[in-house]
Structure 1
Amino acid sequence: MALTSRTDVVAALSSGRPQDLIGTTEAEWIDFKTAPYDLKEPRGKAELAKDVAAFANRAGGLIVCGIKAAQRSGELYETAAQLTPFDPGRISADTYLKALASEARPLLTVHLALFPHPDTGDGTTGSYLVIDVEQLPEDQRYALVRRTIVDGKVKDGWCVPIRTGDQTDFMSADDVYSLINGGVRSRMYPAAPTAAAVLPPLDRAGARQALVEHQGWDGAPVLFWQSSPDVPPSFLPTLHSDGGIRGALEKQKVLRHMGFNFSFEHNRAVPFAGGLLLSEPRRALAVAADGTVTAAAIANPDMLCWAMAQNYGDAHRINVFALTELTYEYFRLVDQHVVPAISGRWRHRVAATGFEGLRLAPGANPVFPRTGSPREATAAEFNLDWLAGGSPEADAYQALARIYSGFGLSGDDNPYVQDKLLAPELLEAASR
C-alpha cells in the first residue's frame, strides 16, 4: 500500500513491515535507493551530499536505502517496487556524517537509522537505512554542495540542489546571483529589527486520546504526564536502538522494583503509532516518532487511589505516595533519557480527565489520628504546561504543583517536597 508520511514509513520499518512501503510514490518528502551510497568513491559522496542538500533546501525528507523504485507504465513518478535489503556491515554512521561535512555547506542535520528485515522464512536477510534530513532554517538557506555529477563524471563546482517532485534540480545561475546580491544589500542597508516569533506550546491531545483508546479507558478518570520539544524532528533517531530510547524504556533504573513507576514485569516496548509503547491495564507510557512522550495512569483504586478504599474507606481519594512516585519516575525517565536526545526547548504538561469527585489531601496518606482534610477536584479536567526545568526533581515539583492546584492546594502541601524540589530521599524513607 502507498504510505503518505514520514512517520508512516518509520512505523512500517520499525514494526517489521517493509512490504508496506511497496507502491509508495517518490515525492518531495521521500526518495528510494536500491543500495546504500558507496562512500569509498567520490561519486558516492557527491550523490549523498546532493540528495541530502536537496531535501534540506526544501522541507526535509527521508532517503530510504534498500528499496528499488521503478516507473510503471502510465504513471508520472517512480514508486517503491522491490525490497532489496543489504548487509548492515556496509554502513558506518561516522563515514556518512564525515562525507556530508566535507561535501556540503553549511553543516546539515541528518539522523541515520537501520531497520532489520523481518524473518519471512524465505531466507531474505539484511537491513534498510533511513536517512532523515531536517529542513534547513530560512536564515541559513541555501545549502551548497562542492561537487556535481555531469554525464556520469564528478565535477568540481559549488551549486545549490533543491528537491522538486521526485527529482533533484539545481538553482539557476540567475537565482544564485540574486541571492548573493540580496545578501550584500541587506548587510549594507539592514532592516529594522523585528520581534522574534514565539512558538505556541504544542498540546498533543491526540496522543493522549490514542493512549486512552488503546487502554480502553474511555470515560474513566485519567491523569496524564506529557513532554514534547518545541521543534520536533520527523523522527527520533535513537528511538528503536538498544542504546537509545528503547533501551532506556526496557532497562529502567527505578527507586523501587515493585513501586509505582512505568517499569513493568515483562517490560518489552512494542511498536505503537510509529513509536514505542510500554503498557499494562493500569498505566502506560508511549514515545512518539518525533520524541513526544505521553504517560497515563488510571485514577481509581487499581492505581492512583491504590489501597485507599480498603485502608481508609475512601475509594475516590488519591494515594499521595502513588501520585508522587509515579510523577518522579516519569521525569527521571524523560529528563535523563529523552530530552537530551533532541536539542532545543522542551515543554512538560500535566492533564486530567474525569476527575470530578476525586479527592486529594495535604500531607501524607492518613494515619491515626487522621490529619489533612481532603479536598475535591475543582474541575473534571485540567491541562497545564511549563517550560522544562532540566532536572527530574524540579520538573516533578512543577507537575505536582499543577496537579495540587486542581484541588485548591499548593505543591508545597506534598510531604515529599523541599525548597520547590521533589526530594527523592523523603520518598525512599517513606517506602521503608
Structure 2
Amino acid sequence: MIIPTKKDLQAIIKKSEWQKIIGFPETSWLECKGEPYDFESKNVKQEYAKDVSSMANAIGGYIIIGVRTKQDPTHKIDLIDQLRPIKSDMIDIGQYKSITNDWIFPDIENITFEWKKYQNDTGFLLITIPEQFLNKPFLVTRTIEENNKTNELVFGYFIRKDDRVHHFSVQQLQALIKDGLRFDSISSRLDELENYLYQNLSSTEKSDNNKSIEEKLSQRIDDALEKVELKKNPSFVLSCFTPDKFEINSLFQSQESDVMKILNNPPRLRYGGWGLQVHNKFNIYSGKYRRAVDPRYKILELWKDGTIIFIVSANQDYLAWGNYSSEDEPLRINSYALVESTLLFTKLCSHIYKLASHKAKIFYFQTSLRNMTSDSQLYRLPVHPQKHYMMYKEAPSENFHAILGPFKVNESYSHIAYNLIGSIYEWFGIEQVRIPFGNIDTKEINEEAISKFE
C-alpha cells in the first residue's frame, strides 16, 4: 500500500499526473468524493461542513471531488481506485465558498477552491484547507425549522482522525472547555479559576511533595488517563522523569517560548506517521504543568519538574491501526506504530531536557500497556511484521509495566527507544531481533529508515 505525503500529492497535482493518485489511501488530510456534493438534498450542506471543519480542526488537508474510493478488504481503509472527472458546469465554486462561510464559524483562513482541468471539459475540484493554528475550534452551525415554528441554532464540533470524521457531543465539548480547551473569549477567566483552585487546595492535596517519585508518576499517569478518557480502555503509555533538580523557566512564559514551540510541533519523521502532536491547545494547570488533550485518543503533558507523559489509544485509531477484531481474530499491535511513536517520544524528551535552565544529569523512562483485550481476547504482536504471512504472540496478561534507566541525558534517544521497545517484545516472548527498524548490534532504531517507510 502506498502511504503518500502532502508533498507527493502537491507534486502530482502540479504536473497534472492524476493517474498516480490511484492506490492512495484516504488519510487524516485527504478526503475524496466521486461525485459533487448535491446541496439540494437533505443534510448534504451539513455533511459538507462536517468534512471541511473536521479537517480544519485537525492538520488541514485536501478534499478532491471527482475521485472515487473503494474499501481495501485487507487494511479496512478506503483507497482511491478510479478517476471520475466531472464536467465543469456541474461545479459552482461560488456556492461552495458561500456554504463554507455560512455554515462554519469562525472563518477558515486561506481556504481555496480550484478547478483543475483534466480532459476536454472535465476536471476535478480541489479544496485546500491549510493547517490552522489560531482560530480552532471550527464549529458547524445549522438552522432547524420544524413546522415553520421552531428556529433553533445548533453547533457541532468535528475533527478528522486518520480517514474518519469524529463528532464531539455537547457534553464532550463542555468537558473540553472544563479541561482547558479555552476559547479566546473565556481564556482569562479559566486561568483565574485554575489559579484560585490551586491556591485553595486542601492540605491532603498539597502533600504531593512527600510522595516518592514513582508514586507521583503513578498518580499523574492515572490522572492523565482519566482526563483522556482511556482509563478503562486499551492504552499505550510512555513517560519520562528525573530524580535530579530540573527546571524550565520558559514553560509558562508564552506559546512562543522554545519549549512550547517543541510541544506544539513535536518531532515527526513523515506525514501520515504515528506522531505525538495533539490538536488541542496546551494549557497551564495548577502552576505545575502543561497539558493538551484529544479526548479518547491522545494526551501529552510536561511538568516543570521534568516529568513528560504521553498516552495514546491502543485501539484501531492508533496502536492497533489497520486491523479489526472478531471472535476469531483479536486485535494486534501495529509494530510500526509502536516503534515510530516510541522513538519520537524519546526524541522529544531529549530535546526538552536540553532546554532546561537547571539541567538534569540522568533520567528514567517508563512504558506500559493497559487493558490490552478486545472482545475478551488478549492483544497480539506480530513476529514478522514485514512478511505477507503473519505469526503472532499473544500478550501474557492485560497489563504491562516497566521502568528503564537511569540513562544519561545526552544518551542516544534511538538507543533508549530500542530498549523500551525491546522490553515490550520480551514481554510478548519475541526476540529483539524482530523489532522493525532495529539494529541488534548497536541496539538503536534506524530513524532514517522510518522516515522513508511507506
**TM-score (structure 1 length as normaliser):** 0.50
Distance 2:385 2:447 in 1: 15
Corresponding residue SS for 2:237: strand
Residue 22 (structure 1) shift? 11
Distance 2:193 2:370 in 1: 37
1:375 to 379, 393, 416: 393
Is structure 2 residue 316 aligned with structure 1 residue 301?
yes
Distance 1:411 1:300 in 2: 24
- What is aligned with 2:451? 428
Residue 403 (structure 1) shift? 1.4
Map 1:101-120 to 2 at 5 A.
none
Identity %: 17
Residue 20 (structure 1) shift? 4.2
- What is aligned with 1:289? 304
Instruction: Please say if residues 15 and 271 of structure 1, whose CA atoms lie closer than 8 Å, have aligned partners that are also in contact.
Output: no
How much is the aligned-residue C-alpha RMSD, in angstroms?
A: 3.3
- What is aligned with 2:332? 317
Instruction: Please say if residues 321 and 365 of structure 1, whose CA atoms lie closer than 8 Å, have aligned partners that are also in contact.
Output: no
Map 1:46-195 to 2 at 5 A.
none
Distance 1:346 1:23 in 2: 28
Corresponding residue SS for 1:16: helix
Instruction: Please say if residues 267 and 347 of structure 2, whose CA atoms lie closer than 8 Å, have aligned partners that are also in contact.
Output: no
1:236 to 245, 248, 252: 248
Residue 421 (structure 1) shift? 0.2
- What is aligned with 1:248? 262
> Partner letter of residue 307 of structure 1?
G
- What is aligned with 2:383? 362
Distance 1:362 1:392 in 2: 24
Residue 275 (structure 1) shift? 1.1
> Partner letter of residue 438 of structure 2?
V
* Runs of 5+ unmatched residues, structure 2: 1-186, 201-208
- What is aligned with 1:177? none
- What is aligned with 2:433? 412
Instruction: Please say if residues 281 and 292 of structure 2, whose CA atoms lie closer than 8 Å, have aligned partners that are also in contact.
Output: yes
- What is aligned with 2:292? 278
Residue 382 (structure 1) shift? 2.0
- What is aligned with 1:261? 275
Instruction: Please say if residues 262 and 329 of structure 1, whose CA atoms lie closer than 8 Å, have aligned partners that are also in contact.
Output: yes
- What is aligned with 2:191? 16
- What is aligned with 1:139? none
Distance 1:393 1:14 in 2: 42
Query: Which one has the largest radius of gyration?
Result: 1
Residue 236 (structure 1) shift? 3.4
- What is aligned with 2:231? 218
Corresponding residue SS for 1:309: coil
Distance 2:213 2:232 in 1: 29
Instruction: Please say if residues 201 and 347 of structure 1, whose CA atoms lie closer than 8 Å, have aligned partners that are also in contact.
Output: no
Distance 2:285 2:191 in 1: 12
- Between stretches 345-354 and 383-392, larger displacement belongs to 383-392
Give aligned pairs, total.
Answer: 242
Name the CA shift for 1:18/1:398 in 2 (closer, same or farther; >3 Å): same
Residue 21 (structure 1) shift? 5.9
> Partner letter of residue 414 of structure 1?
I
Name the CA shift for 1:429/1:17 in 2 (closer, same or farther; >3 Å): same
- What is aligned with 2:364? 347
Instruction: Please say if residues 267 and 344 of structure 2, whose CA atoms lie closer than 8 Å, have aligned partners that are also in contact.
Output: no
Corresponding residue SS for 1:277: strand
> Partner letter of residue 388 of structure 1?
F
**TM-score (structure 2 length as normaliser):** 0.48
1:205-257 deviation line (CA, Å, top 9, x unaligned): 11111111001112112111110011344x63222243332221112341123
Distance 2:234 2:196 in 1: 39
> Partner letter of residue 304 of structure 1?
L
Is structure 2 residue 401 aligned with structure 1 residue 388?
no
Residue 355 (structure 1) shift? 2.2
* Runs of 5+ unmatched residues, structure 1: 1-11, 26-60, 62-198
1:381-432 deviation line (CA, Å, top 9, x unaligned): 222112225222111101101111221123321121013100012212322x
